[in-house]
Amino acid sequence: MRVLLSTYGTRGDVEPLVALAVRLRARGAEVRMCAPPDEEFAERLAGLGVSLVPVGPPVRELTRGTGLPSDAELARYRSELLDTQFALLPAALDGCDVLVAAGLAQIAARSVAEAAGVRYVYVSYAAVHLPSPHHAPPPRPGWPKPTETDNRTLWALDAELLDAQYAEQLNAHRAALGLPPVGTVRDHVLTDRPWLAADPAVGPWRTIPGLEVVQTGTWSLPDERPLPDDLLTFLDAGAPPVYVGFGSMSPARDIARGVIEALRAQGHRALVSRGWAGLGLIDDGDDCFAVGEVNHQRLFGRVAAVVHHGGAGTTVTAARAGVPQLLVTAPISDNPYWAGQVAELGVGAALEGPAPSAESLGVALENVLAPETRERARALAAEIRTDGAAVAAGLLMGDLRPA
């Protein structure tokens, strides 16, 4: 079997497909992946023997600075990415038996698969991206923020915004391929049987009529990399520190300072992850340490809590480690959803960014570091699955049936 995996986004969008690629290759499948051309993605895939088809501009172009591009720039990026997908996906799909598309940016994928007569599977990494009366749509940067509060109304408005951005352009490409026009772009991309690569214990799907969601569990791989010696020395030198990191997001300039000062006020050490924003320390105190890319699966078991941006991967990794979490989120994509889930499960707290006050940080950290929060986090860890990518690979290869 030959499989094409396609996504566009940051590391949190790419890594789940990497896990699926590894599981598919272990079953004898040939895998190639469409992803952004950022150097770290190219190196990651090359090391696994997975062919990369670069699509779109480097994602770091969109995440530079502490703010997003303007609304007009985002609209241009989306339009150009759609044209690029129609230009490159057909050749990438040649000889493949199935196309797995992750994320709503994959507007062209289903049409290309349809024209080639190839099976198409859409996957979301969070339930919030799938329409349901049980939750509102995620915030979409560059589009008007609605004032309505009814979830059904909000999803209808969300569909209208997607159609306004993509419908005319998408249907022009479909006509060029000899395909009929689509009605609602979002429903066309998602299909009526999308997959959900999220852990049922952390981000469950609530069944609704008309949408048959296949929840596989999170797609991840065991990480056996050892922690660096200098990091181990810091960890061994005192009580477990609090991890502070924002991944590929660009948080407010002084967020690291604010968290470190709040931790010091409560007598805790801090471990700062530089991330794409290049965060650093505020002084040379021996109660703080900065790290680059390290194994979170090993690290999170050694920390007192994890302060982060609310990415799906970081949220489930911290939950699997049984460690409390404080999510400092911007209103982007699924970040507020995961913040809400962590708070609802009682395994942490959430603050809306970009720069929470010192007082709110202090109160939130006290709650997160309370013994009862850690007890709930440990209990949740026992419920989390680790076989999501293997389950998905089995479904694609035809030797498993959906639950």
Q: What is the CATH number of the domain that holds 242?
A: 3.40.50.2000
Q: Give the model's pLDDT for residue 301.
A: 96
Do 53 and 28 belong together in one domain?
yes
Q: Using alpha carbons, select from 5, 45, 55 the residue that is nearest to residue 29.
A: 5
Beta bridge partners of 191: none
Q: Distance (Å, rounded) from C-alpha 261 to C-alpha 268? A: 10
DSSP 355: -
Q: Is residue 403 part of a domain?
A: no
- Predicted TM-score (pTM) of the model is 0.94
In sequence order, which residues have a C-beta less than 8 Å from that of residue 400 and are 6 or more positions away?
Answer: 391, 394
Q: Is 310 left (phi over 0), alpha (psi -120 to 50) or beta?
A: left
Do 169 and 109 belong together in one domain?
yes
Q: Are 98 and 121 in contact (CB under 8 A)?
A: yes
Q: Is residue 81 part of a domain?
A: yes
Do 296 and 203 belong together in one domain?
no
Do 256 and 119 belong together in one domain?
no
Do 63 and 34 belong together in one domain?
yes
Q: Show the tokens assigned to 263.
A: 């931790």
Q: Distance (Å, rounded) from C-alpha 327 to C-alpha 348? A: 8
Q: Give the model's pLDDT for residue 145.
A: 83
Q: Is residue 402 part of a domain?
A: no
Block means of pLDDT (10 residues each) for the chain, 403 residues, are 95 95 96 94 91 91 66 90 97 97 95 98 98 94 85 96 96 98 96 97 96 97 96 98 84 78 94 81 87 95 94 95 92 90 96 80 94 98 96 87 56
Do 70 and 159 belong together in one domain?
yes
Q: Distance (Å, rounded) from C-alpha 85 to C-alpha 103? A: 13
Do 269 and 142 belong together in one domain?
no
Question: CA 52 → CA 2, 39, 168, 318, distances in Å?
Answer: 14, 11, 30, 29
Do 295 and 177 belong together in one domain?
no
**Count of domains forming the chain:** 2
Q: Give the model's pLDDT for residue 36.
A: 95
Do 177 and 294 belong together in one domain?
no
Q: Is residue 289 part of a domain?
A: yes
Do 303 and 173 belong together in one domain?
no
Do 238 and 332 belong together in one domain?
yes
Do 392 and 377 belong together in one domain?
no
Domain interval for residue 201? 2-220+386-397
Q: Give the model's pLDDT for residue 402.
A: 57
Q: Are 89 and 34 in contact (CB under 8 A)?
A: yes
Q: Is residue 7 part of a domain?
A: yes
Q: Is residue 41 part of a domain?
A: yes
Q: Show the tokens assigned to 383.
A: 């419920």
